[in-house]
Chains A and B, each alone.
Chain A
């Protein structure tokens, strides 16, 4: 298979406008004749469903939560980037594009990233118009702050709840379309399979999570915006319900999965405290603007932080990266924290933690200003740890936070299955091997508000959509497959819970395919995952039945998918013999421990195809070309 990314030719700055003109349009009277399915109601799905509804399409939007407002985009704290250059500090579309390509360690497509940077400003305008209460200066203009990996202040924010406010903006726009009758919202439903008829995506099979009822939904196109797969690791900053089932079932129906090993470890999370722990809590990266990261210079120093004098502290990021200091990108900050802890400098009971200290900022700015900037984050930290970060430095440790990999899409966000579009974190497109802070919200909203409304028209206008009956063999086959999988899970009645399997799988994936990877370790991981998966299908026990609200059953299906996905992540990580961004292979590093890329051999997108339960996945490579940003060794020194 060859992959056509459909990147327009010609100067990059005109490419999107030209492409928009070249794409076919659906005339307004015909739009209401087209039906669309959107799976997921976060920033990407919510904004897409709302915008497509406004255009006049008939949209059905699904989410597994009780309300679209609960989607996990809501938990994003720090902010959203845009190339507005309000602070007059040298920002431009080109700089945002450049920083994103470089930040992604030259593993993203230039064309997609440039479009993202171009659209970024319009996103802010749209959100402001919706009434998103962004932070303001006293004069009434929009406030900006800096964020990890950037030397300009391009981040817009709403206290520490930017994701919440942007999501509520999209949710309200969505509810407006529900009111107008153009969008039907279907909450508490989980997509369990994709229906592919004559090679094209034509619908989904969903399960009602309250009644257990299965339903078939047919449409002219299907849009997946179901988020990332960080929960493979069990402990992550994702919501408990976040899952990969929608994209994984699409993969098994023929959509290629790109760069599955590109996962992001966020540097500033609250360290693990016990075995019962169900998730990890993020502390916004914005804290690194004013907080200073350090460890004691002496190994295994058990003194309390206030007893350690200034000259016995190692501010290792400031020492190693003088020009970016505490604001280095996430992958660099995470790796350094791990290295310090591995060498024995870690703090806290487990030794897996470093200090994030605000005492200098409190002295310089006063406690009031610090409280204004980070009050809710400090409160959250105190609620969880019972320590007061105004007095004692926070303890932080890296945790899985975001997945750059996802279903492969072209410039029009269409997967390798015609009629299946993938938006937001669920696709692989814009962040390469490492995402910069405050760029996920930007991408989700760009895809949903400003890309899919244009590109879907091109698909709808150039294809015909014969009616698909429920009796169609493809529909029947999908429904039967879904039902038999659920019956199988319920019938095993083994002796281990789903969660205990998931924890073990997460531990394997974290140990071998987390912050540092080796060829040998990845092979070990693949063997362990396979063995555990086999055990799962013999010994798992799932409570209850299929005909009512049964979280145990929901989890069982998702974990079954994680086993397969975790294996693919390890295969991909094993195949990529280089280090780039969040993918750090210990064999490939510079003498001073930085990631060593191999552009000659690995400057490509690795797109994996499903080849059946007993065959290894097939690899298709999409070469990456860099015309505007010359790949260089990333340096933040």
Chain B
């Protein structure tokens, strides 16, 4: 009953005219960002983040969340029509989606993708709505030792499941934590690594880092491999799927929803992985596995649903624990903190209008996406025809405006350029830069939790074990490490002893 009342209050916030407007702007911009190759949800969020500073917190978060799940919708359009993923989570959709388009069935692929995304996204928000309040009640009882242990678990998990090698991922995590120490120390006021510069007294600009590492570096990478895109153009009439299409895709949508909801909750596991798992499952369960890769509709329905089903549940670690599970949610975290809202277990109690307003807007936004996306597919196709030679400078200009508005200072532009070059080189060397950004945002919170724990315990490290919740998290950490070590050892044995003669 409380949940229903709270949700009703949330709708009263989300249905305010300006908030509906910002929701529409967010989902449209998110879709555009998802459609355009080279601009992912993170760059799309980082580009608009500075422009939300003047908005009230509800509107800002509603718009940014709209960009987040809108980009997941948009990515499938380019995957299906051009065979180029609009964003990383739509890679797998290229396989069967484009094959369907080549056979003149782009319409059903787009419709099933949109419907599956709507269903997965809506269920995901439902899970967020039901579980987040319960989890936050539980987390209100934990103190700094458990907070520290939980964040360490999140970072270790991120390091072990990162997309590049474990060493490289951990290097990025440690580098991010180090970057997070730049500025005035929160506890003692000592200036660390500022070299007398006032620009970094509050720490490195997160917006400049995010835009540099993801926006500018992506543009630099794409400038190397530009080609004119020739998308397939479906007509509005051809969008209608058959009854068989809907019947075949329904179970895939159901399974994709479960997979996406589960994967979204775990920090560090990318939403990209949920799409691969969904595709593999559909292929395994299908009566016609040999047809996968040649235009099976389940190969589109499952992954796209899983992709969108991560959006709601990935907000659970962010809103309840204050831990961004993927880089895009790190931007949301940054936005909340800029507006003076500390995400964590107290968020639902201290700012119920923000939490429930966001939930309600996500229901509305998911519906707007499925209603707008299909009629506007022609517009999005035309966007794909804009030569990248025009898009790239435009994105650079928007990025510059974005970082400049943070402090009206050219220093931010320099920072963005430096991180742009760094991101470009790191990605060339197969480093995943996402953990670096996540670690930056978690760094000072981990440090604060650690130092507070030692202050509380008067220097006794056993506080991390004596605290029940901290001990649980540390046990989880030990289990994860043991499992990983076992996997490595088995891999090592297989590699080195595979050819040994047992006699």
A in complex with B: no
- Residue positions of B touching A, CB distance < 8 A: none
